[in-house]
Amino acid sequence: DTEVTQTPKHLVMGMTNKKSLKCEQHMGHRAMYWYKQKAKKPPELMFVYSYEKLSINESVPSRFSPECPNSSLLNLHLHALQPEDSALYLCASSQAYRVNEQYFGPGTRLTVT
């Protein structure tokens, strides 16, 4: 099973809402990633978790709050977002941080109104 799942597929939220994105993998991978992707642009790394600990935060605004409750699950909590945060949010995982093949989920299309 080489699948990374993400829910929801689509999310529309107002600037005062609080919502969460969820990512799950059952491949036994110990590194998980959040990327943000604007239309026709490459993904931009936001966060990396390695063995459930935050390893990299690419200077992401605090209105994005990641959480890794266990090795299979990665959440991204959203609060007080801006319209420019509208994007495709991709989750990925790899066997370990130093193992380089990353497997991506289908993404959550987020629209902030």
Partner 1 sequence: AQTVTQSQPEMSVQEAETVTLSCTYDTSENNYYLFWYKQPPSRQMILVIRQEAYKQQNATENRFSVNFQKAAKSFSLKISDSQLGDTAMYFCAFMNNQGGKLIFGQGTELSVKP
Could you list the residues that contact partner 1 (CB under 8 A)? 31, 40-43, 45, 48, 50, 55-56, 88, 90, 92, 94, 96-107
Smallest distance from partner 1 to CB 74, Å? 15
How far is residue 68's CA from residue 52's CA, in Å, rounded to a whole number?
A: 6
| Angle, CA of 57, 92 and 80, to the nearest 5° | 50
Smallest distance from partner 1 to CB 12, Å? 17
Q: Which is nearer to partner 1, 18 or 55 (CB)?
A: 55
How far is residue 43's CA from residue 91's CA, in Å, rounded to a whole number?
A: 10
Q: Which is nearer to partner 1, 14 or 55 (CB)?
A: 55
Smallest distance from partner 1 to CB 51, Å? 13
Kindly tell me the burial class for residue 47, based on how many C-beta atoms sit within 10 Å of its own C-beta (0-12, 13-18, 19 or more): buried
